Structure formats: C-alpha cells, structure tokens
C-alpha cells in the first residue's frame, strides 16, 4: 500500500504538504474501491482537519468526502460538507469555487426534494455567477451548471412551457463554450483550481436535458434527433474516457428514447434498447442500483404496449418496491392504475386504494404539474369505464386545462380523444368530431400511434353515423394502416429473445435473455 506509506511518512515532514494530502486522497479512493468506505471517511476527515492552510487540498478533500456521502445516499451529511466548503471558499476569496460548492449543494437539495431551500440557494448562485469575473470558460461552465439545475427543477415540476427561456439560455451558453479556447494561464488563487465538467461532457448533458424536455412536451421527433446526436458524442468520448458519468448519461438517454419508441409504435426497437440498458447496468452495480426501478418501469410500459397486463402489473409492482423517488413513484402508480382500469373488476379494491393515493383534487403526493394532470386523466379514464360520463368529462377538462397551460401535447391528445369517445357514446356527434379531429392532428404531429389508431376508429364510426361515406372510408383505411403497422411491430417484438425479460422481477438482469448484438438501428455501434 504505497499510498498508506506516503500518508504515514508525509505527516511527519511538514514540507510534504502536497504529498500528504494526495496520499490521503488516493488512499481513500482505494478504500472505496475495496468497499471499505468506513475506513475512507475518518482518513478524509483527518486530512480535511489539517489542510485548512492549503486551500486547494482543503477544498478538494471536502468535495471528495461530500461525494462519498452522496454515493452512500447520505445527502444531509454531503450538503453540510458542501456548505462548509462554500463558506471556506468565501473566506479565502474564491467566489468561483464558492459557486461550485453551492451549485453542488443545490443539486443535492433537488435530489432530496427540499424545494424551499433550493429557491434562495439558486438565486444566490445566479448572483455569484453573474458577478464573478474570471476565466471565460470557467464562468460559462458555472452558468451551464446553474442553468442545468434550473431546467431540471422546472422539468421535475412538470413545467414544460415555463422552462423554455432557461433551456434556450442553456443551449446558447453551450454554443458559447464550444467556441472558447482553453486558457492555459493558471488562476492566481489556488482554491480556483477546479472545473465542474469537461466541455465535451457538458455538451452531452445539454443534449440530455433537451431530450428530457422534448419527451415531456411530446416533441418525440425532436427527442429522437437530440438523442442520436448525444449518443454519437458519447460513443466517441467512451473510446477515450471511462468516466462513470458517461455511462449514466447513456442510460438516461436510452430510458427516454425507449419511452419515445413505445409511443411511436416501435416496440421491437424499444425492447432491444431495454436490453442495452440491462447490459450497461450489468457492468456497474452502482448503475444498476440507481436505475433498477426505471428499468422495471420501462418493462412495465413495454408489457402494456404488447397487452401483457399481468406482466405489466408485476413489473410496475417491482419498480414501486425498488424506488424511493416520489416523482417516479407517482408515474408508476398512475400507469399501474391504468392497467387495473383496463382489466375491469379484477382489481377493484387495489385500484380504489391507488386512485385515493394519487387524488389530484386533494393531497397529491408530488408537486409535478405534469403528473398531476396525468392523475386527472387516469381519474377520467376510470370514470369513463364506470359509465360516469359527466364525472369523466370534469376530470378530462381539468387535464386539458393543465396540459394546455404547459404544452403537454401527449396528454392533450389523449384527453381530446377520450372526450371525443364520451361524446360519441352520448350521441353528440358534432361535439365528438370537435374533439377527435384535433386529437388526430396532434397525435400525428407527435407522432402517437395508439392515439392515431383510436382517433381513426372514432372518425370512421362518426362519419358512418353521419352518413359521410367517403370520409368514413378514408378513416377506415387509416385505421387499417395503423392496425397493420402496430400488429407487425407487435409480432416482431414478441418473437425477440429479449421479450422474455418481461418475466424478470428479481435480482440482476438475466443474461440469457439478452441479444449479443445491439438493435438494428443507428444506435447499434454503441456497445
């Protein structure tokens, strides 16, 4: 253990400050690699205690211990350390590193859902970033960090329309950074010798949050375009860099594009990409631990798309068991409730319990505008299946009001077509047509295959009822085309070996269900 010897020797020789603290840093990393975190923490605390006269190492060791606590999911201790670091950086005159500490703390507070503490902290960070005059790349990287947190905060709150100005600023900021050359002049303050992320990593991150926005808004072709760009960039970076954050970016991008595929009627490709996520998670136990719930959620959504409802229930139930993230929990529960609604009276008691827990009229468990609008939709769907049409209309109009306010296009399309179906059942053909036509237009724009299938069937029946034979024939032809596309894709997906993943509900992903090659798309060369 060379690092251990360096640490022991250097403590006895005052002149060996850098050796002493580098040895402590390396030794704690070795302990962590050997899963001896309890040995790493006191070592770092001791090094932090004796490094206060060495600003660079004191800050670096504080960051390192905060990261260790974060990996252990002890976010309170991590936030405390980052607060200590921010105050120390202020005292030694490093506003740049103070901002890094505060932004890192803001990121953890967002993860903890401590939104009341996030607002004043981000306001302070914004002021520090704008007032700091220094290396242009460092300044722009702080701005990217700040804007990424702001955009993520808006997206977590389901505010897709409100986030647009921040997202535009972020995209302009990353373009500015890409034109700047690295300044080789070292900062005069040793506490400033840090950087948040390399420029190339920041570029991928901006693509990623753009994909997240496009997905929530229902701009699925845009999401596909930015995912392709980000994955191409990642492929190049991973050839030269084995940083774990790149694999995390890749998994999150794939998670979003999988949901896009399921909506656009590409189930077979989605299933192969789920297998890719399994393979990436197999390479890193920490990655699997962080994404297991999302993986089972994606499998649940896939099961719904191929009408394997018992498997969907098992996957969503497994995902609920594995997550403690409130927004993901609410997303899973709304989808599980929709499965039970479609299954009829088999799960009435459980369904009533779920609907009560996601009641948007009373105490909804999360602040997300998008998820609350989705909960109104699920309540409307339930009332429709129960034959309580006036109640269903009330819920769906609330969904429409909320989804229009934040440009949630997919929820708008789903609500319109369901309202159109209700008016059709009630015999109000004109009002039904007024709902179904815009639903079809919006679904085509997304494009959402299921809503297009549903809308075309309603348009066929509406035009038949109104005696419009030519329009009825055209709608019937559209319906047949959508049906054939979805059926062909359904058969292809169910015939893949990866389809057996729908039975996996425990432990690590089963290797035998995964294809050796990636999907036959532009993403095939990723692994």
* DSSP one-letter string for 194-227: --SS-HHHHHHHHHHHHHHHHHHHT-HHHHHHHH
Q: Residues 106, 112, 114, CA angle at the centre, nearest 5°?
A: 70
pLDDT one-digit tens code per residue, 326-365: 899 999 999 999 999 988 777 788 898 999 888 898 878 8
pLDDT tens for 60-90 read 999 999 999 998 889 999 999 999 999 999 9
Residue 222: domain span: 134-180+195-241
What is the CB neighbour count within 10 angstroms for residue 240? 8
147 found inside a domain: yes
On whether the CB atoms of residues 398 and 379 are closer than 8 A, the answer is no
Retrieve residue 70's tokens. Answer: 């974060």
Q: Are 382 and 353 contacting, i.e. CB atoms less than 8 angstroms apart? A: no
Which pTM value belongs to this model?
0.89
368 near 158, Cβ under 8 Å?
A: yes
Rounded to whole angstroms, the Cα distance separating 279 from 213 reads: 26
Distance of CA 408 to the CA centre of its chain: 16
Residue 320 included in any domain: no
| pLDDT value for 349 | 85
Q: What is the spatial distance between Cα 312 and Cα 238, in angstroms, rounded to a whole number?
A: 34
R_g of the chain, CA atoms, integer Å? 26
User: What average pLDDT does range 379-405 have in this prediction?
Assistant: 96
Closest alpha carbon to 44 in 2, 7, 1: 7
Separation CA 241–CA 376 (nearest Å):
45
522 within some domain: no
Residue 175 in domain: yes
pLDDT digits (tens, 9 = 90+) for 260-282: 999 999 999 999 999 999 999 98
Helix, strand, coil shares, percent, the chain, to 5: 80, 0, 20
User: For residue 101, what pLDDT band results from cuts at 50, 70 and 90?
Assistant: very high
How far apart are the C-alpha atoms of 40 and 26, rounded to whole Å?
10
At 183 the pLDDT is: 63
Average pLDDT, the chain: 89
pLDDT at 512 over 70: no
pLDDT above 70: residue 184: no
Identify the band that residue 523 occupies on the pLDDT scale cut at 50, 70 and 90: very low
In a domain, 453, yes or no: no
* Structural domain count, the chain: 1
* Segment 120-149 mean pLDDT: 93
24 falls within a domain? no
Tokens coding 142: 């702080």
- Answer yes or no: is 208 within a domain: yes
Specify if 154 maps to a domain. Answer: yes
User: Rounded CA gap, 353 and 380, in Å?
Assistant: 16
Given this model, what pLDDT does residue 504 score?
96
Any idea of the CA torsion for 220, 222, 223, 228, to the nearest 10 degrees?
130
Backbone angles phi, psi at 242, to 5 degrees: -105, 25
CA distance 349 to 448: 32
Alpha-carbon gap, residue 514 to 257, rounded angstroms: 19
Q: What pLDDT shows up at residue 283?
A: 87
């Amino acid at each position: 253990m060379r690092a251990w010897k360096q640490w022991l020797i250097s403590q006895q020789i005052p002149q060996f400050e850098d050796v002493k603290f580098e040895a402590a840093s390396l030794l704690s990393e070795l302990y962590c690699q050997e899963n001896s975190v309890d040995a790493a923490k006191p070592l770092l605390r001791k090094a932090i205690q004796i490094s206060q006269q060495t600003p660079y190492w004191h800050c670096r060791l504080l960051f390192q211990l905060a990261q260790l606590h974060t990996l252990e999911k002890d976010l309170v201790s991590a936030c405390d350390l980052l607060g200590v670091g921010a105050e120390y950086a202020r005292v030694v005159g490093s506003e740049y590193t103070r901002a890094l500490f505060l932004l890192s703390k803001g990121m953890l507070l967002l993860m903890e859902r401590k939104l009341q503490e996030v607002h004043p902290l981000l306001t302070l960070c914004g002021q520090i970033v704008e007032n700091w005059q220094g290396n242009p790349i460092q300044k722009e990287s702080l701005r990217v960090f700040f804007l990424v947190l702001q955009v993520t905060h808006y997206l977590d709150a389901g505010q897709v329309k409100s986030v647009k100005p921040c997202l535009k600023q972020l995209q302009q900021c990353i373009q500015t950074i890409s034109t700047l050359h690295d300044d080789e002049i070292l900062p005069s303050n040793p506490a400033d010798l840090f950087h948040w992320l390399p420029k190339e990593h920041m570029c991928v991150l901006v693509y990623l949050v753009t994909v997240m926005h496009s997905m929530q808004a229902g701009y699925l072709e845009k999401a596909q375009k930015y995912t392709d760009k980000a994955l191409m960039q990642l492929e190049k970076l991973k050839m030269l860099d084995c940083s774990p954050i790149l694999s995390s970016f890749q998994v999150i991008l794939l998670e979003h594009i999988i949901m896009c595929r399921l909506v656009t009627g590409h189930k077979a490709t989605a299933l192969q990409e789920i297998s890719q996520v399994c393979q990436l998670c197999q390479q890193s136990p920490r990655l699997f631990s962080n994404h297991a719930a999302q993986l089972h959620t994606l499998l649940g959504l896939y099961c719904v798309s191929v009408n394997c409802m018992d498997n969907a229930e098992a996957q969503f139930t497994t995902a609920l068991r594995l997550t403690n993230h409130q927004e993901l929990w609410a997303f899973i529960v709304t989808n599980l409730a929709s499965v039970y609604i479609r299954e009829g009276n088999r799960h009435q008691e459980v369904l009533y319990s779920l609907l009560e827990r996601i009641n948007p009229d009373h105490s909804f468990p999360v602040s997300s505008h998008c998820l609350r609008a989705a909960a109104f939709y699920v309540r409307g769907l339930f009332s429709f299946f129960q034959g309580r049409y006036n109640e269903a209309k009330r819920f769906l109009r609330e969904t429409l009001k909320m989804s229009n306010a934040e440009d949630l296009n997919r929820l708008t399309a789903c609500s319109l077509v369901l309202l159109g179906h209700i008016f059709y059942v009630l015999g109000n053909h004109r009002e039904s047509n007024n709902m179904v036509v815009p639903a079809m237009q919006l679904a085509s724009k997304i494009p959402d295959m299921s809503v297009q299938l549903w809308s075309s069937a309603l348009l066929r029946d509406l035009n038949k009822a109104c005696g419009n034979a030519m329009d009825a024939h055209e709608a019937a032809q559209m319906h047949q085309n959508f049906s054939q596309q979805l059926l062909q894709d359904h058969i292809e997906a169910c015939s893949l070996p990866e389809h057996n993943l729908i039975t996996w509900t425990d432990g690590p992903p089963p290797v035998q269900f995964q294809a050796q090659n990636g999907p036959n798309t532009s993403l095939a060369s990723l692994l």
